[in-house]
Amino acid sequence: MPANFDALANAIEQSEKDLLSRWIAALTAVGATRSGQTSDKDLKDACGRFLKELRRALQNGASEDIASEQWQDARDVLEEISAARALRGYSPVETALFVFSLKEPLFDLLRQTLAREKHMADVLVASGALLDRLGLFTTEVYQKSREEVIKRQQDELLELSTPVIQLWDKILALPLIGTLDSARTQIVMENLLQTIVDAGAEIAIIDITGVPAVDTLVAQHLIKTVAAARLMGADCIISGIRPQIAQTIVHLGLDLQVVSKATMADALSLALKKTGQKVERLAARG
Amino acid sequence: MDKIPILKVGKCLLVTIQIDMHDRLAMALQDDLTNAIVTSRAKGVLIDVSALEIVDSFIGRMLSNIASASRVLDAVTIVVGMRPHVAITLVELGVQLSGIQTARNVDKGLETISRLIEQSESTDAYGDD
């Protein structure tokens, strides 16, 4: 196998520039620049660096195992390129094509330089297998980068999703927006209970205007939150139940075991009454 | 063995749980408290759990039992100052403490309990008529 790679390395070294320009032409032909999203200069730079690392790895006697030490630099370059493409919204196919489109120009080159050699077929097969591995590696890195993006967005969503508002003296509001799953409810519940302690609140208004759907699981979470708040000596009021959700709750046969009001305003006026407070209009001035 | 002090304040008994309870202590408290309600003729029991950090289903059950026993002995029970994590744990354990009143702190608790005692006394008075 190393003998095949030596031939490959020599072939690349002899006509690196020619190979590079034909590779870029092939990439441009399959639309790898994505109508100017990656500039020609960046593309040329990326291709040049990868080709150089590929040649160096082969010259250092690298085996076909691309996880080995000799491939470290080449892997770094590929990782960088795939990660950048994942962030820019390239598809997996477009990312994998970066390596796969090298095949055609490389095989052409090998056919020319090894035309009279007996082992040309062996070299071609070995090179093909190598490029396949490198191509799959880019897809793997691409996938990982995308997963990181998704994970980060999830974390950001969790941070955004749980504001507890001090609405009035001893009255808290918790406007819930989006679907409630177990992880989110846990954070919402902890936040609410901690704020009840910190603010010495007596009433918490849970507003579900922004919750798109209520199923048994969401209802279960709401009931748990209400029960926990009650254990701490705070009452809960649920507001903003939309007509469809009210119907769903009845269909599911759920009992929320809590006072509910149509709007946050109604809930606030009830809360004010319960805490013995009053808001009055000032006498007309002038 | 440790003992949890039971103090009489006005018409009600004040129990402050200052240490993490083990099962035997909880049983002892239940005994002492029911005895104290009878001997002191208290109308209410206020249990302060603000220092309680660890609960299990047994302690939850015990709180619930104390409340039921007190109701039989004509005294209302109110639990005050529960920590968030204790509340979450009890809910997850399925201990709802449905017969028990709750309040944020001792101050609020005393206020509520005196109102409740007043209420029950006035309904008793109507009953006599």
Q: Per residue of chain A (286 residues), give pLDDT as tens.
A: 556 777 788 888 888 888 888 888 888 887 766 655 677 788 888 888 888 888 888 888 777 788 888 888 888 888 888 888 888 888 888 888 888 888 888 888 888 888 777 788 888 888 888 889 888 999 998 899 889 989 998 888 777 767 889 999 999 999 988 887 777 888 888 889 999 999 989 999 999 988 888 888 888 888 888 999 999 999 999 999 888 888 888 888 888 778 999 999 999 999 999 999 988 888 876 5
**Buried (b) or exposed (e) across A196-226, using 16+ Cβ within 10 A?**
bbebebbbbbbbbeebeebeeebbebbbbbb
> Which among A197, A224, A227 is the nearest to B84, CB-wise?
A197
In the block, residue with structure tokens 């799959």: A136
Q: Measured between alpha carbons, how far is residue B1 from residues A230, B4, B10 in Å?
A: 33, 10, 28
pLDDT, tens digit (0-9, with 9 covering 90-100), for A217-274: 888 888 888 999 999 999 999 999 888 888 888 888 888 778 999 999 999 999 999 9
Instruction: Kindly report the CATH number that applies to the domain delimited by A2-156.
Output: 1.10.490
Whole domain around residue B42: which residue ranges? 6-128
pLDDT, tens digit (0-9, with 9 covering 90-100), for B33-43: 999 999 998 98
Chain A nearest C-alpha distance from B95 (Å): 10
Q: Measured between alpha carbons, how far is residue A248 from residues A175, A191, A213, A243 in Å?
A: 20, 27, 8, 9
> Which among A194, A224, A233 is the nearest to B104, CB-wise?
A233
Q: How many domains does chain B have?
A: 1
Instruction: Kindly report the CATH number that applies to the domain delimited by A165-274.
Output: 3.30.750.24
In this structure, what token pair is assigned to residue A64? 């076909």
Start-end ranges of CATH 3.30.750.24 in chain A? Answer: 165-274
Distance CA A220, CA A218 (A): 5
Start-end ranges of CATH 1.10.490 in chain A? Answer: 2-156
For residue B68, being part of any structural domain is answered with yes
Q: Is A105 exposed, middle or buried (0-12, 13-18, 19+ CB in 10 A)?
A: buried
Q: Name the pairing type of β-strands A165-168 and A171-177.
A: antiparallel
DSSP alpha helices (H): ranges in A114-176? 120-160
For residue A286, what pLDDT is reported? 59
Distance CA B116, CA B121 (A): 9
For residue B1, being part of any structural domain is answered with no
Chain A nearest C-alpha distance from B35 (Å): 26
pLDDT, tens digit (0-9, with 9 covering 90-100), for B57-81: 888 888 888 888 888 888 889 999 9
> Whole-prediction pTM value?
0.65
For residue B34, being part of any structural domain is answered with yes
Residue B129's pLDDT band, with cuts at 50, 70 and 90, is: very low
Distance CA A248, CA A261 (A): 17
Q: Which of A94, A100, A104 is nearest to A35 (CA)?
A: A94
Chain A nearest C-alpha distance from B96 (Å): 7
For residue B75, being part of any structural domain is answered with yes
- Closest Cα in chain B to A201: B104
Domain of B20, CATH number, reads 3.30.750.24
For residue A272, what pLDDT is reported? 94
Is A228 close to B91, i.e. CB distance below 8 A?
yes
pLDDT, tens digit (0-9, with 9 covering 90-100), for A45-69: 888 888 888 888 888 877 778 888 8
Interface test with A, best of B91, B101, B112 (most A CBs within 10 A): B91
Contact A218, A249 (CB under 8 A): no
For residue A28, what pLDDT is reported? 82
For residue A82, what pLDDT is reported? 86
